[in-house]
A and B are shown apart, each in its own frame.
Chain A
């Protein structure tokens, strides 16, 4: 329990660990396989590795790392679309830093920048709007990325662009939505999950109601969790307690941030600007119905997909990559053939090695390599 020393409240962590051990021992596992709990959110994956929570848990519990890293699930074809837009001479392409190094089939945005494309890292879509304001002669495109956590910010920026008449500002919308994705995972034949840690900040926007089908229809427990190690342990304990008592409910451990109905203002902006796509292509998970949003016709002026002809082709991942299996939780990062050898944070082959929320980068950074060596 080396990492417990770093916890804010060591005693509480120790008590929770003891309770988790005891609960796990009491829950029957007729198949003999560990209980599989999926953390949906990449932020949780990061905290779990950062604090070594996985190593502290009894062997009867396995954390399955879900697809909740928006950079990681972008298919390569989408990165190529970004590069194609960025390479146009009239364009200033703006993006969050996380997306800069994600490999495309030809090059990443960072490589495109090195070769002369005007690619700029921004902290906020508002900064991209500022660039549009200051460069009326250029087309400024913002790479809209993320689940419901960042969706309202892009929507509000588009509304602001409209209000100011900044017609040289558009968004390449790659926002994705969590609920159909969880449903796809529940319907997947590869996985037999026993429960979920629900995403904290997505839920801050959408509330907890949209998850209710997970409990009522699929009869699986979910606990919406905060990001600190104690939050995660407590949420895990709550999931296990539900399993032991034979309950399947949506509980909210992160009520200090997550209201049951979400954030009305944020949802209003989202509803105004976006509509669901029929389907969206995910890296590794394939096409998932209604899992992405696009910009409504009324805001076509600010939709980069409409304004620029995009190659928009599907490109298979390199053969050596097993990002898809890792994303679905079927294999662990260190079981990928190229993990830590051909694929490292310095020379990433897959997006999961780029983003700090990606399971591979997190494993690599915090003991993943050590873990793999133990296994070899």
Chain B
């Protein structure tokens, strides 16, 4: 719940609601991106961003290298599996 997991925004689903699809280790999941958009970084510019996803919300932008390393550590910690499983179960809405 608190660790978060890195994923990459692959598509904007709903501009007004600020919903996008992220790819987390091959699992696609819809997330809310309201916390990472602002005037300097509008919804349209988010595709391709690497983000830290907490409970279905992108909370922070991270660089790609950082994302890969964090994911690797989470896999080692056994945390990523649980997150990914929870994402898979709920799937794309």
Contacts and interface: CB of A to CB of B under 8 A. Distances in A.
Interface of A: 6, 8, 41-43, 46-47, 50, 70, 96-98, 121-127, 130, 145-147, 149-150, 152-153, 156, 160, 201, 204-205, 227-228, 256-257, 263-266, 269, 356-357
Instruction: Classify the interface of chain B: helix, strand, loop or mixed.
Output: mixed
Contacts, number: 110
A8 B86 contact: no
Contacts of B52: 204, 257
A160 B3 contact: no
Q: For B1, B56, B73, which residue has the most chain A Cβ atoms within 10 angstroms?
A: B1
Given A96-B55, A150-B1, A152-B35, 14 more contacts: A8-B69, A41-B2, A42-B2, A70-B2, A125-B56, A126-B57, A147-B2, A150-B55, A160-B17, A201-B2, A201-B4, A201-B59, A204-B59, A269-B35
Contact of A123 (B2, B32, B60, B90): B90
Contact of B35 (A227, A257, A266): A266
A153 B56 contact: yes
Nearest to A269: B34
B59 A152 contact: yes
Interface in B23-60: 30-32, 34-38, 52, 54-57, 59-60
14 contacts: A6-B76, A43-B3, A97-B86, A123-B56, A126-B32, A126-B93, A145-B1, A149-B2, A149-B59, A150-B1, A156-B32, A156-B35, A201-B54, A257-B52
B54 A150 contact: yes
Given A97-B86, A146-B2, A153-B55, A204 B77 contact: no
Contacts of A146: 1-2
A126 B30 contact: yes
B3 A125 contact: no
Given A8-B69, A8-B73, A47-B77, A257 B2 contact: no
B22 to A, nearest CB: 12
Contacts of A96: 1, 55
Interface in B47-93: 52, 54-57, 59-60, 62-63, 66, 69-70, 72-73, 76-79, 82-83, 86-87, 89-90, 93
Closest 3 CB pairs of A and B: A124-B56, A123-B86, A153-B57
Nearest to B57: A153
B66 A256 contact: yes
Contacts of B76: 6
B54 A125 contact: no
Contacts of B1: 70, 96, 98, 145-146, 149-150, 357
A46 B77 contact: yes
A96 B60 CA distance: 21
Nearest to B36: A265
A200 to B, nearest CB: 9
Contacts of B83: 123
B35 A124 contact: no
A264 B82 CA distance: 29
